[in-house]
Structure 1
Amino acid sequence: QLTPTAQAIGAVNTIVSKNGALTGDNTDAPGFLHDLERLIGEEDQGDGHALILGAGGSAKAVAYALYNAGWEVTVAARRIEQAQALARRYAFSTAAFELPEAGPFTLIINTTPLGMTPNEHTSPWPIGRPLPPNAAVYDLVYNPSETKLVREARAAGLRAATGAGMLIEQAALSFETWTGCSPPRAAIMDAMRQR
């Protein structure tokens, strides 16, 4: 059987066996929210307008997380049909990958592979277009340790993070489900930075 989270996202990354029954769960959405809280603070969770770049598998987890946290969301993707399907599921708005003109976005999340090694010079954000002032930027790409999008956001004075924290959080939540123990997240992050 599947948990409601795994059903909604359409993917399983954690399987638990209890009394001979297998249950599939997905820790990506709560892992994303835990790390997002680190970036923007608990008081800003669900208070604003998020722009999700991309509409693939990881976008589904992010959309589910933001929907349940009460965010207003716009999905922008190259494949507009995929963006529309994702947006319909949660009554979000959509845009073609030509980003909507300066909506009042307070959070931008890249769920595309743009900027990932070996294409570190790429970014999903249009060249020459300024990022919205006061927005936080979250790039699910975690290799390299600082993507072009994150670098540009920080240079503009914005709060920004890569997906390394989400990777650690979702893995830690899976580990906790299996063992009942909480792994040392800070030590894991330190080890990841040293690689």
Structure 2
Amino acid sequence: MTDNTRLTFVDAVAEGFRNWRSTSGTATRPEFWYWFLFTALASIVASTIDSVFLPPSALVIPENLDAFTGDQIREILDVTLSESIWTVSTLITVSLFIPTLTVTIRRFREAGSAVAFAWAVHLIGPLSTVVLFSLGYTTADMVDAGISGANAGSVLVIALAMLGLVAANLAALIIWIVVAARPAKSTEPR
């Protein structure tokens, strides 16, 4: 795209797919935000397809949350994992991950930010998800063992770890938005 040509939504999406593996060069703000809009719309369409053709299983959740057993917690986690693996949403997310990462790297470069931030922002989410599910299974094991004074501290540590992961994801999102919204870094000396 030349500087005096106005970038359209379709052009930005085509550019994102054309440069899906290229981390060199830059991405303009319109290119980045149109790509973000495309991924959001694709996710909405995929989620709609999933909800119509793959309705979620009916889980029996006790009315009294204190009555949860470790097996019920594991069942909820297992159903959540098994139902989310082969969905249209997951396939769209996985297929757009690398192009989104490369567009973000190119945008961060144009904004004058460290490319390492782009990697960090994109890796915090998936890693947090793995850790959260691991903590969920650990909690289920602790519920089976019975929460006593001995392991009540462990429950607090797990809760704080989950809170920390949520805070890390929010911080990554804020960094991502702030850097992506920056104007291009001037190459002229001041």
Give the TM-score range, shorter chain.
under 0.3
Structure richer in helix, relative to its length:
2
Which structure has more RCO (C-alpha within 8 Å, separation ≥ 6)?
A: 2
Computing the radius of gyration over CA atoms, which structure comes out larger, 1 or 2? 2
* TM-score, L = length of structure 2: 0.25
* TM-score, L = length of structure 1: 0.24
